[in-house]
Amino acid sequence: MTVTSVHNPSHREALWEMEDAFERGDLISVFGRCTVDYEGRASSELGSGDRLVVLKPDGAALVHTDEGRQPVNWQPPGSEHRAAVREGRLRVVSTRTNPAETLTVAFEDVHQLSALTVTGGRDLDLHGSEEDLRTRILERPDIVEPGFEPTETERPSIAGPMDVFGVDADGTPVVVELKRRRVGPDAVGQLARYVRGLREELGINDSGFDGDSVGDADGDDGETPAVRGVLVAPSVTDRAAERLADHGFDHVALDPTDE
Amino acid sequence: MTVTSVHNPSHREALWEMEDAFERGDLISVFGRCTVDYEGRASSELGSGDRLVVLKPDGAALVHTDEGRQPVNWQPPGSEHRAAVREGRLRVVSTRTNPAETLTVAFEDVHQLSALTVTGGRDLDLHGSEEDLRTRILERPDIVEPGFEPTETERPSIAGPMDVFGVDADGTPVVVELKRRRVGPDAVGQLARYVRGLREELGINDSGFDGDSVGDADGDDGETPAVRGVLVAPSVTDRAAERLADHGFDHVALDPTDE
DNA sequence: CTGTTTATCTCGCGG
DNA sequence: CCGCGAGGTAAACAG
């Protein structure tokens, strides 16, 4: 038996079922008319209404209405659930410490209470993350540009760790910044800080002056800096495109979810 | 009747109940063994396991395991839910556009399916938020400091809107930044940008030089700037305290949940 | 234990 | 529609 369910139980019956479910470590789902109070980092009150309350064996509690992805009230995992009948009504209290928080659900009417025994299958694998994108670039650097050779990831700099660092076909240092979604000017600023930091580190003047360094860009005059910046992202905002142009950085359009 | 529920239904029966529930605009709760696939901003696959799936009439979809406050997979409100039986199995697909995202739940076994008719009670009042904190300061400005008079909220500046703007007992302009929890150096940086922006606006030199302005701080030499910065937060990190001191800003310890 | 960073963040507001 | 900031953010991770 993986589901125990009672419909329109008395508050006492609901309490018995709930205590049994706590004992078994079940996932509990309660649908009923209730008020909800929360006291802790903030405080809130929720008047009477029909809601779905989920109590998890790891201590998480969720109160959902018929709208929104977010629970209207909740308690994080690690909280402790207790149930009782006070003044003839089922009352569920979930508490945690650090910070001290209390969620109280007082039922006027329990429409349905279900205890769900959960078995296995908790393994998720997620693709399309920034981590995934970096792995793919290390495996096939040509998707950044032909001849690109990554040398380090998470290379430390005064502006923080750069996502990917390497050299291009001409041997010029390249800083690559990865973003998994459309970016605004802030990402360009981040890339600019890395490039600026690296130029300082290598003793290269911002204007592109090359003080005996690792290989100047070909033919160009002093305008071309000896460290390049490349932003890898599915797309950029107009403002970001302007700032990329200002800095002389390149944008590689690459969607992390594409193969 | 506010709850319709079937236990261990056939996949066809489950489909009928679900389609009826869609029609009625019910909140749907399904507990069963299923696999979950998500494609969109990222992509994920979830192997077979017992999970609680919630489908809301506003288009939100949630897939919960027995752990965590967060759903293991979800779809935001505004998505469209469809159900069908393919290869003898109940399959629920939730899609949305912009960004294009698809959540697919394929049930191997439906343990329980419930349709919940929700009525009323969506009014939450929350205290202890930043909004609430601002209201309290406007009602009783003395909790910032005696003699403080707020003049504007969300006052625009080149650095963005400041939380509260006003003048102190001496008539010196004061920028107040509100934070509802313990803050790090970033909040001080934010406040500093506001203060710097306002000084520029008023034609005051950063070093505190007063170019015919609204009332200099008493007695001090040129060190004291003619625009003050006050950070209201329950507490600050050590690093943040140093930066506050560097700028000559004040910290008012105020917990948004108090009072 | 605190502090930092990320997220399929969500959510609301303004241009 | 995009961009920005707040959240009882949650959650992973480093120190």
Model confidence over B113-129: pLDDT tens digits?
999 999 866 677 788 78
- Report chain A's C-alpha Rg in angstroms: 28
Contact B66 A58 (CB under 8 A): yes
Tens digit of pLDDT for each residue in B137-159? 888 899 999 999 999 888 877 77
Partner B contacted by A6 (CB < 8 A):
no
Give the pLDDT score at B59. Answer: 96
| pLDDT, mean of residues B193-198 | 86
Return positions of chain C under 7 A from a protein CB.
1-12
Q: Which residue has the higher pLDDT, B110 or B193?
A: B110
Share of chain A above pLDDT 90, in %: 53
> How many other β-carbons are positioned within 10 Å of the β-carbon of residue B230?
22
Q: In terms of Cα–Cα distance, which of B159, B50, B202 is closest to A119?
A: B50
Phi, psi of B193 (to 5 degrees): -65, -40
**Smallest CA–CA separation between B202 and chain A, in Å?**
28
Share of chain B above pLDDT 90, in %: 55
Give the pLDDT score at B223. Answer: 52
Q: In terms of Cα–Cα distance, which of B99, B85, B111 is closest to B42?
A: B99
- Measured between beta carbons, the chain A residues lying within 8 angstroms of B132 are 42
Crossing angle (nearest 10°) for helices A238-247 and A185-202: 20
Tens digit of pLDDT for each residue in B59-79? 999 999 999 999 999 999 999
Across chain A, what does the average pLDDT equal? 85
Give the pLDDT score at A223. Answer: 52
DSSP code at position B59: S
Residues 6+ apart with CB under 8 A from B23: none
Distance CA B252, CA B259 (A): 15
Return positions of chain D under 7 A from a protein CB.
1-11
Q: What angle do CA B140, B146, B147 make, to 5 degrees?
A: 90
Distance CA A17, CA B242 (A): 55
Q: Look at residue B220 and tell me whether its pLDDT is greater than 50.
A: no
Across chain B, what does the average pLDDT equal? 87
| pLDDT, mean of residues B91-108 | 96
Instruction: Count CB pairs under 8 A between chains A and B.
Output: 191
Tens digit of pLDDT for each residue in A155-181? 777 666 788 899 999 999 999 988 877
Contact B257 A41 (CB under 8 A): yes
Q: Look at residue A214 and tell me whether its pLDDT is greater than 80.
A: no
Q: In terms of Cα–Cα distance, which of B7, B46, B72 is closest to A116?
A: B7
Distance CA A56, CA A78 (A): 10
Q: Which domains does chain B have, with CATH numbers?
A: 3-116 (2.70.180.20), 130-253 (3.40.1350.10)
Beta strands in chain B (DSSP E): 3-7, 27-39, 43-55, 61-64, 73-75, 80-86, 89-96, 101-116, 124-127, 149-155, 162-167, 173-178, 228-233, 250-253
Q: How confident is the model at residue B30 (pLDDT cuts 50, 70, 90)?
A: very high
Range scoring the smallest mean pLDDT among A188-192, B186-190, B223-227? B223-227
A126-CA/D12-C1' distance, Å? 15
Tens digit of pLDDT for each residue in A13-33? 999 899 989 988 999 999 999
Q: Which nucleotide is nearest to B186 (CA to C1')?
A: C4
Task: Name the closest residue (CA) to the C1' of nucleotide D6.
Answer: B130
Q: Write out the two tokens for B165.
A: 């703007």
Interface residues for strand C (CB within 7 Å) are: A 68-70, 98, 126, 128-131, 160, 180-181; B 38, 40-42, 44, 60, 73-77, 101, 103, 182, 184-185, 237-239
- Chain A residue with CA closest to B49: the answer is A121
